[in-house]
Structure 1
């Protein structure tokens, strides 16, 4: 099928479905700042950021290098803490969570997709995808069913016994997405998911993310690509650590 046609079709269907969702607030960021300090310098990575993301939304975050995109994504993913401000995830004030509770939320409700894939070289495809389920204590028979189902869906079942270095970049990113969604997370955080891929594999990854979003998964994606951002319902623009624009896609 023509890639341009499929891209346009996915965006059209995604926006129609988005309009029909019963919207609840998933993320509330209020006046968040992040300052990195050393003995000699103070760097403001985020400057009084306010952001709201609804369940089922697909949000792109754009901006120049060093504007705070990855810092914001790390805070949203409970991988870092803000210097000040409030972050509520599904109505829960994140600042009130103990470290064990934060870890439980990360493992059970969040999925991460990285530009560099972050697969474990010593594990094969099956084992990489199975790992989050092992951490959650899911029994072996159920893990097997869940892994086999997601590998089939991602069209990489035939690579289950291969190791990351034996895969193409597009195949590695499919494995990374499979690992991110095998636990059925409510939220996927994607950091430049097509950054290391050619246009064909990049289009396939964006179509996968769009399909997951149509099924109800909330997605927040950092990207430098205007093309990739066009799949989102809304694009947040950051500059020097501040939100300078929030632009809804045409037709949303």
Structure 2
């Protein structure tokens, strides 16, 4: 599904040049759940941003199914991202002035989905996320775990081929964190492809494969045999 080869990303200021990604190679199968780990500054969030078309590398190749994404112009990148990708961040990024329903509906509005279809899709996902009784609430009326469920629902409402998660349990206690990870695992088991950045080895244990980065390089990978049988 995803084939990244020789990816290079350099950040430059007037005095300093920092190589964030240094010849990254990464392949992700359709339906796989991959965790990216490593110390702060190793390049894992940069890699996720490049995968999500939120940042551009200096060189390399990034193929998503049969499309070379690095050759797309800005408008094409934006449209591809809206159609094919969903995002879950550590900071829930919910809009305080909008209800749960309205927050989840936003990506559908951006994609110009008709109102009747938007209502159907939002109702479908809030039932799946078990937050039907919170649909009229505002974010500040929810627990952290409930807010992250809303964020996951918003990421999934467009039925993306790929979900990118950046430290999705970082602002949650262990109980709510486990709840979110179990939810992501359930989604993956239905066929959703997930790539997650995490510092937590516990969270990474839910994935099929763990990629370790250091200084912008892939230094190792580990297969979780308990969760890869169906992909082999």
Indicate the TM-score class for this superposition, using the shorter chain for normalisation: over 0.9
Q: Which residue of 2 aligns with 1:233?
A: 208
**Could you tell me how far 1:142 is from its partner in structure 2?**
0.8
Match of 1:182 among 157, 177, 185: 157
Aligned mates of 2:85, 2:62 — CA distance in 1: 15
Runs in 1 of length 4+ with deviation above 4 angstroms? Answer: none
Picking from 112, 115, 120, the partner of 1:137 is: 112
Which one of 44, 68, 86 corresponds to residue 111 of structure 1? 86
The separation in 2 between residues aligned to 1:95 and 1:201, in whole angstroms, is 37
Q: Which position in structure 1 is the counterpart of 2:188?
A: 213
Residues 153-177 of structure 1: CA deviation (Å, up to 9, x unaligned)? 1111111111111111001000000
Using the TM superposition, give the Cα deviation of residue 250 of structure 1 relative to its aligned residue in structure 2, in angstroms. 2.8
Task: Tell me the equivalent position of 1:64.
Answer: 39
Q: Answer yes or no: is 1:159 the counterpart of 2:138.
A: no
In structure 2, the partner of 1:12 is none
SS of aligned partner of 1:104: helix
Q: Which runs of 5+ in 1 are unaligned?
A: 1-25
**Are positions 1:146 and 2:82 aligned together?**
no
Structure 1 CA distance for aligned equivalents of residues 115 and 208 of structure 2: 38
Instruction: Give 1:247 shift.
Output: 1.0
CA distance in 2, matches of 1:83, 1:124: 40
Q: Secondary structure at the match of 1:80?
A: coil
Q: Separation in 2 of the partners of 1:27 and 1:107?
A: 17
Match of 2:75 in 1: 100
Cα RMSD after superposing both structures: 0.8
Which residue of structure 2 aligns with residue 170 of structure 1? 145
Distance 1:136 1:162 in 2: 24
- Work out whether 1:197 is the aligned partner of 2:194: no
Tell me how many residue pairs correspond in the alignment.
227
CA offsets 1:182-231 (integer angstroms, 9 cap, x no match): 01000000000011111111111111111111111100000111011011
Deviations 1:124-178 (A, max 9, x none): 1110000001111111111111101111111111111111111110010000000
Give the gaps of 5 or more residues in structure 2. none
Residue aligning to 1:6: none
User: 2: CA distance between counterparts of 1:144 and 1:239?
Assistant: 44
